[in-house]
């Protein structure tokens, strides 16, 4: 994971940690990539987030140097509730926090944090363990500063 991705990872957690809109209190944890040992379905609802891919636009003055990076970020909402309403409510709260969010990074400027096109939200669906899942894809458009 590159420097930019590590910064985004930390800043997304900071955004969650500073939340006062109800997202933070609606879930029992916000974890990068996977829940830590000891977290079970009894601890749900939780949200996992990860940086899936990134692509770069390069400038070639003095070598290939990234001028823009666009990491794809996935948020995965997991709920053990009997119906999907809890996961759907969490999605609304997540969107209130992250849609258009600004992130302060060192050496980079986040131009926008936006949901991807039509397929940016998948779910709700129940997985093989009986857990409700909703996935939300965001793109962070970052310019080298």
pLDDT digits (tens, 9 = 90+) for 21-30: 999 999 999 9
Question: What confidence score (pLDDT) does residue 77 get?
Answer: 98
Question: What confidence score (pLDDT) does residue 118 get?
Answer: 67
CA 16 to chain centre: 10
Report which DSSP code applies to 99: T
Residue partners of 114: CB distance under 8 A and separation at least 6? 99, 100, 138, 139, 141
Both tokens assigned to 142: 């970052």
Kindly report, residue by residue over 38-95, the tens digit of the pLDDT: 999 999 999 999 998 755 444 445 544 456 788 899 999 999 999 999 999 999 999 9
What value does the mean pLDDT of the chain take?
88
Long-range contacts of 8-12 (CB under 8 A, 24+ apart): 8/51, 8/71, 8/73, 8/103, 8/105, 8/140, 8/142, 9/51, 11/103, 11/104, 11/105, 12/49, 12/73, 12/98, 12/103
pLDDT above 70: percentage of residues in the chain = 88
CB atoms within 10 A of CB 15: 18
| Structural domains of the chain, with CATH | 3-144 (3.30.2000.30)
């Amino acid at each position: 994971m590159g420097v930019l991705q590590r910064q985004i990872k930390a800043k997304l957690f900071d955004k969650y940690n500073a939340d006062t809109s109800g997202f933070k209190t609606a879930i029992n944890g916000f974890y990068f990539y996977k829940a830590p040992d000891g977290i079970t379905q009894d601890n749900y609802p939780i949200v996992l987030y990860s940086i899936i891919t990134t692509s770069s636009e390069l400038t070639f003055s003095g070598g290939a140097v990234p001028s823009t990076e666009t990491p794809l970020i996935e948020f995965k909402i997991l709920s053990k509730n009997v119906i999907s309403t809890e996961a759907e409510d969490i999605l609304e709260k997540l969107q209130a926090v992250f849609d258009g969010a600004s992130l302060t990074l060192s050496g980079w400027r986040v131009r926008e944090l936006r949901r991807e096109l039509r397929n940016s939200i998948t779910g709700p669906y129940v997985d093989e363990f009986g857990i409700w899942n909703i996935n939300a894809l965001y793109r962070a458009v970052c310019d080298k500063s």
